[in-house]
Structure 1
């Protein structure tokens, strides 16, 4: 994790504190590395708190959430917290090696690291099981295809900026924008359009503890018969004098003008569709997970979102053949996959 501008450089200087303490305190105590390791551990914990205190003043959001406002080609300061805690854990493992053997100390550090990443996954398992059971029954009732996991989707969609990083700093600091752990996928056809509904988890790269801050989302995707350039369209909350403000992320203005017309925007408003995007041959939107609720109509709500995507695409009256690009990808859940 590297920061390049403004306050984002501060963690680089703070990270040097444990190393300085390790060598300085060890040298001051007849090269006793045990005392140095303890000082480095305490120093790492102190700079962790200091880093969070400074970040709270810069990136503290409402309701305890962290913003990412302060990241002009840099990394949000609070996201360095796991790095500092890892330094404290490594120094603590070295300090305990005076009472236990080195292999045991390394094992303890390794166990703590595994627990950091795996405990959130274990907490998600009951929820995943409930969603899988619910969606499997729904797919069976509709006669649609179902897959317990859809691992290939991790590489299919990228929700980061479409523009290519032009500088080394931009490349180093591009946010993690791929969904993880796709599961409970259902696929079928509506009005001749193939679709996929799948749940996944969205990482929050600027969170204090990213592994513990994954948010459940539902992806509703309609698969097109041809591949198109990427475009992202969203309705900005609130209206100005009754006018709807639309935000568009696209590298081709002419193509964006052909996709985003008045009819498409009106369809988004009518169907309460806040955003959509085209990535290759997929027209999709990402929603907060609807399947965690106990409402029996949650799956029907997902289907309604698919229908809204079809309605928006049907409003495109321009000939899109001029912008066809690439090859059509196979369906995420093939036709020969098991039904329910």
Structure 2
């Protein structure tokens, strides 16, 4: 299925033009791959630049808190923004360059050159992320040792799936296809402890910024705080927008509106506002809060900062109903640092 908004179809149209140019020249010159590849490489780079300039005109939003404009996903196709097709254009140009150079040199030399170009694109970002992850792991491990908490440098894919956001349940199939996907890494720096009568887990994930020009180079660190309940519940995603006058605006995404009404009492909504938790979700036996960090943010990774975040989540849970009745789906999920959740 192909779904797009606004000018999101443009890259697909450009790719069709590139394919037409390649095969047209190849057919007209009696299967001369060298001429067709060289022309297609040039056309790909030109159309890639045009696409990026178009994106700069329609997919940039200005934020007063930032000195520069930020990329957005207003014009996209199948969840991929206009500007995020730039690596696709560069990769296609590199493929045509390989086809051209293979005619002049050899397939081995052309393939080696292509592999080097891919490495130059992927490796620097991966090395930077690895250094950041090592720093966070070292700090969390130290905190775990000081407080007698459990620690794992890396969680399993099952743990990532357990915490993965569920796509919005209130949109059409086309809108779901065209949502910007959340591409999160496996959890790392996983720390589990207990505060009062509540068990909690803190972990980090690396998320690609799918609105950027080079998603692989732009990763956002996301810290996930999870307080574990003693029973599993339906999925509920909550967004609360405080207002200067009147009650806060509450948006709930769930398959059961009655369950949302049971949970989102005025006391819970008010506690969420006072705790500064404008977005949280229930998934299974976890109440999850995600905090996304942008480059340059000062992140409080201390034990005090972690406990303060858990206390704020606990202040919301204090107002949950004592009995969930028929909405309870059974007992809690397995501990995040036991069994199948540990890699």
Calculate the TM-score normalised by the size of structure 2. Answer: 0.87
Written as runs of structure 1 = structure 2, the 5 A alignment for 1:42-81 is 42-62=42-62, 63-71=68-76, 75-81=80-86
Please tell me whether residue 196 in structure 1 is matched to residue 195 in structure 2.
Answer: no
2:99 aligned to which of 94, 100, 103 = 94
Aligned residues: 336
| Partner residue in 2 for 1:275 | 279
**Compared CA separation, residues 73 and 125, structure 1 to 2 (3 A):** closer
Quote the residue 2:334 is aligned against: 330
State which drifts further: 287-296 or 192-201. 287-296
Are 1:229 and 1:279, in contact at CA under 8 Å, matched by a contact in 2?
yes
Provide Cα deviations, 1:267-312, integer angstroms capped at 9, x if missing partner: 2222222221111111110013499877776432122111221221
Q: Does 1:146 align with 2:151?
A: yes
Task: Give the whole-Å Cα distance in 2 for the aligned partners of 1:250 and 1:70.
Answer: 27
| Cα distance in structure 1, aligned partners of 2:43 and 2:340 | 58
CA drift of 1:315 comes to 0.4
Q: What TM-score results when the alignment is normalised by the length of structure 1?
A: 0.88
Q: Is the 8 A contact 2:186 2:205 kept in 1?
A: yes
Matched residue SS, 2:11: helix
Q: Look up the SS of the partner of 2:131 in the other structure.
A: helix
- Aligned 8 A contact 1:219 1:287 in 2: yes
User: Where do 1:1-340 residues align within 5 Å?
Assistant: 2-4=2-4, 6-62=6-62, 63-71=68-76, 75-152=80-157, 153-163=159-169, 167=173, 169-170=174-175, 172-236=177-241, 239-289=243-293, 298-317=302-321, 319-325=323-329, 328-334=332-338
Contact persistence 1:23–1:36 (CA under 8 A): yes
CA distance in 2: counterparts of 1:305 and 1:216, whole angstroms: 17
CA contact (8 A) 1:180 1:201 kept: yes
Q: Larger deviation: 271-280 or 131-140?
A: 271-280
**Is the 2:225–2:310 Cα contact (8 Å) retained in structure 1?**
yes
| Residues 17 and 44, structure 1, Cα contact 8 Å, conserved in 2 | no
CA RMSD of aligned residues (A): 2.9
User: What whole-Å deviation, never above 9, does each CA across 1:247-280 have from its counterpart, x for those lacking one?
Assistant: 3222211111111112112222222222211111
SS of residue matched to 2:243: strand
- 1:158–1:333 distance in 2 versus 1, CA, 3 Å: same
**Unpaired runs of at least 5, structure 2:** 63-67
- Matches of 1:160 and 1:111 in 2, distance apart? 37
Q: Tell me, yes or no, if the aligned pair for 1:2 and 1:74 is still in contact at 8 Å.
A: no
CA distance in 2, matches of 1:72, 1:18: 18
Runs of at least 5 residues in structure 1 that lack an aligned partner in the other structure: none
- Counterparts of 2:119 and 2:211, CA distance in 1: 21
